[in-house]
Structure 1
Amino acid sequence: MTAPDERLGEVTEVADGVRLQFRRSWPDPVEDVWAALTEPDRLLRWIGSYEGERRVGGSGTFTMTHEEQPVGEPMRIVECDAPRRLVVEWDTEEGWRVQLDLTEEDGRTVLLFTQLFAAGTEVTDYVLGWHWYLDKFAAEVSGGTPPGHWDAFYAELGPAYGRQPG
């Protein structure tokens, strides 16, 4: 998927499945971006809550509280190299694994969000969902305005991902 909007996710077929990546950046220090990813009060404002062990190998329950029907899902922290890398896995049927890598480039903190799906997975709805959450994350980092209601967001960005509102 390509479009002039640099916020769009990129979906690539790879040997072991389908890879989704988003690349976002901010002028904020890496420590502040990391804090928005991991501190409970900031995490709650953009995506949800995590109740459990906060260490590599630790497990707990992650709830995406901005969903229509929030449901706690088992999650495990696979890797954590603060403030540079966090890898988590949801213990679901799909076996979600999300990698969040922070680097500094030209005075900006860059977030590379990566999720790998099984081969043949239709990922468009996941891409749209993560795009919405990452826009909420950007507002948390920068103090900007978060995206509006899902329906308005979908109407605006759905076509960029091949989805028509309606």
Structure 2
Amino acid sequence: MTPIPTGRLFRTDAGSDLVITRTFRALADDVWAGLTEPERTARWFGPWEGEGGPGRTVKVRMVFEEQAPWVEVRVDACDPPRRLALSMVDDAGTWRMELLLSEVDGVTELRLVHHLDTEEGIGEVGPGWEYYLDMFVASRAGTPLPAFDDYYPSLKPHFESLTTEG
């Protein structure tokens, strides 16, 4: 498989936003369930434990990462089925992101917005999000999950080029 990157970079007053999109022939409620229900997130990202809700922290098992670590993820905002804002801190730094859904005539667009404090490392981060979103697509379609090796390092140049565009 040769994935096609969809990532775009937008400069903001607070830094930069990396935006990656996917479109589904499904209602926003159904896509939302795939993004938020532990048994469904387990299929493409990892299961989570705890009581979700704004201001709460849940534990997510990153089953597709080396050693499948558990990480704490804070729910910063939750407006079903339109917006989920999350943040977490790990060895790589602070991760702030939003999952935004918009539906028109039974077609839902999912935008993953990763709020970046710095564009350093975008060549690694971008391919990872493309991979996870394609994992989400495959989990919904019931098709085989993609391999990360198809995404990295082949998509790295695309994401690095975004930092030089004006």
TM range (shorter): 0.7 to 0.9
The one-letter code of the counterpart of 1:126 is V
Residue matched to 1:37: 35
* Partner deviation per Cα, 1:99-143 (whole Å, 9 max, x = no partner): 011111343111111011113433110000010000001112233
Distance 1:152 1:112, change over 3 A: closer
Name the amino acid aligned to 2:44. Answer: W
Looking at structure 1, the residues matched to 29 and 5 of structure 2 have their Cα atoms a distance apart, in angstroms, of 22
Q: Offset of 1:30 from its aligned partner?
A: 1.2
Runs of 5+ unmatched residues, structure 2: 162-166
C-alpha separation in 2, matches of 1:50 and 1:108: 27
Tell me the distance in 2 between the aligned counterparts of 1:153 and 1:7.
Answer: 9
Number of residue equivalences: 158
Secondary structure of 1:25's partner? strand
Give the aligned CA root-mean-square deviation in angstroms: 2.2
Which whole-Å CA distance do the structure 1 matches of 2:67 and 2:19 have between them? Answer: 26
Correspondent of 2:21 among 1, 20, 23: 23
Point out the more displaced range, 130-139 or 7-16. Answer: 7-16
Q: 1:10: how far off?
A: 0.9
Which runs of structure 2 are paired with 1:43-54 in the superposition (5 Å)?
Answer: 43-54=41-52
Match of 1:136 in 2: 135
Counterpart in 1 of 2:99?
100
Q: Measured at CA, do residues 6 and 139 of structure 1 come closer, stay the same or move farther in structure 2, by a change above 3 Å? A: same
Identity of aligned residues (%): 34
Residue 8 (structure 1) shift:
1.5
Residues 49-94 of structure 1: CA deviation (Å, up to 9, x unaligned): 2222212111122221111222212211111111111111113462
Which aligned runs of 4 or more in structure 1 are off by greater than 3 angstroms?
Answer: 155-163
Distance 2:148 2:128 in 1: 9
With structure 1 as the length reference, what TM-score do the two structures score?
A: 0.83
What is the CA–CA distance in structure 2 between the aligned matches of 1:155 and 1:101, rounded to whole Å? 27
Q: TM-score, normalised by structure 2?
A: 0.83
Query: What's the secondary structure of 2:118's corresponding residue?
Result: coil
Instruction: Report how far residue 156 of structure 1 moved.
Output: 5.1
What are structure 1's unaligned runs of at least 5 residues?
Answer: none
